Homo-oligomer: A and B are copies of this chain.
Amino acid sequence: MLDQIRIILVETSHTGNIGSVARAMKTMGLSQLVLVSPKELPDGQAYALSAGASDLLATAKVVDSLQDAIADCRLVIGTSHKPKSQDHQVLNPRQAAELAVPELQQGPVAIVFGRESNGLSNDELRLCNYHLCIPTSAEYTSLNLAMAVQVVSYEMRMASLDQQPEAEASAEEKTSYPTSEQLEGFYQHLQTTLDQTGFIIRAHPGHIMIKLRRLFTRARPDEVELNILRGILTSVQRFGRVGNSTITPEQQ
């Protein structure tokens, strides 16, 4: 089950860290590693520091963008140095694991780690359903990347050990969530529709769309709800084309 946890490293600078991350993951039973535009591909140093976890480096996927890395994920958790966020619920590693592990049966869950120097950008964090912050000491927050992966992987393992006995339990009542790709399709549909209704100006969709994305990321619609939302958008587009039939019957 833990093989459905996808550890994503964004623009890692030091290949040694990638190796240490692989080792940290494997000690906890994780195996899926994705590298988004690493400064350098895993080299000798990465393999040396991975110790017996070189298989994770060999099978690591390398992609160009975070969007590609999370496209098939229904739950995306982004790590952040800031313990608070105005627009996202911030979880500690334990809460993140309690949330993520029960969803592994549905497919991959992404945990995203940013650059050694300055973490994830705001744009990247906006792609995440939740933010995760490791509660470091206020006086010294300099947690090494691989150490952060170790702590999070450890919590994932602890949560999976907790789960095992009860396991399959309520498999049927599980909510099914859309993938990031499906959500992206919804946002495009929303933007097009709001452009047509004149609510947003084609040239400057930015600010409003960011706010709407934030709202829906927080709401985390399931597949049924997303279908309703898309149905609403389609009805609005048709409404605009035919007009209100009581006012413009001639157009029907």
- Interface of A toward B, CB cutoff 8 Å: 20, 23-24, 26-29, 51-53, 84, 86, 92-94, 134-137, 139-144, 146-147, 150-151, 154, 157-158, 161, 170, 173, 175, 194, 196-199, 208, 211-212, 215-216, 218-221, 224-225, 228, 231-232, 235-236, 238-244, 247-248, 251
**A196, B234: Cα distance in complex, Å:** 13
With a cutoff of 8 Å between Cβ atoms, the chain B residues found around residue A141 in the complex are 27
- A51 to B, closest residue via Cβ: B142
Closest chain-B Cβ to A56's Cβ sits at a distance in Å of 10
Give 16 new A-B contacts, CB below 8 A, not counting A23-B147, A27-B141: A23-B142, A26-B142, A27-B136, A27-B137, A27-B142, A27-B147, A29-B139, A52-B142, A134-B154, A197-B235, A211-B225, A215-B219, A215-B225, A239-B239, A242-B243, A243-B251
**A29, B135: Cα distance in complex, Å:** 10
State the number of copies, please.
2
Closest chain-B Cβ to A245's Cβ sits at a distance in Å of 9
Contact B211 A28 (CB under 8 A): no
With a cutoff of 8 Å between Cβ atoms, the chain B residues found around residue A23 in the complex are 142, 144, 147
Contact of A228 among B157, B211, B239, B244 (CB under 8 A): B211
Contact A157 B142 (CB under 8 A): no
**A52, B142: Cα distance in complex, Å:** 8
With a cutoff of 8 Å between Cβ atoms, the chain B residues found around residue A158 in the complex are 92, 94, 135
Contact A208 B196 (CB under 8 A): no
Contact B238 A198 (CB under 8 A): yes
Contact of A247 among B53, B142, B147, B241 (CB under 8 A): B241
Contact B137 A29 (CB under 8 A): yes
> Beyond A157-B135, A216-B219, A224-B211, is A27–B243 a contact (Cβ under 8 Å)?
no
Contact of A140 among B26, B154, B235 (CB under 8 A): B26
With a cutoff of 8 Å between Cβ atoms, the chain B residues found around residue A218 in the complex are 218-220
> Beyond A27-B142, A137-B26, A154-B151, is A244–B248 a contact (Cβ under 8 Å)?
no
- A245 to B, closest residue via Cβ: B198
Closest chain-B Cβ to A218's Cβ sits at a distance in Å of 5
With a cutoff of 8 Å between Cβ atoms, the chain B residues found around residue A86 in the complex are 173, 175
**A251, B249: Cα distance in complex, Å:** 12
Contact B208 A228 (CB under 8 A): yes
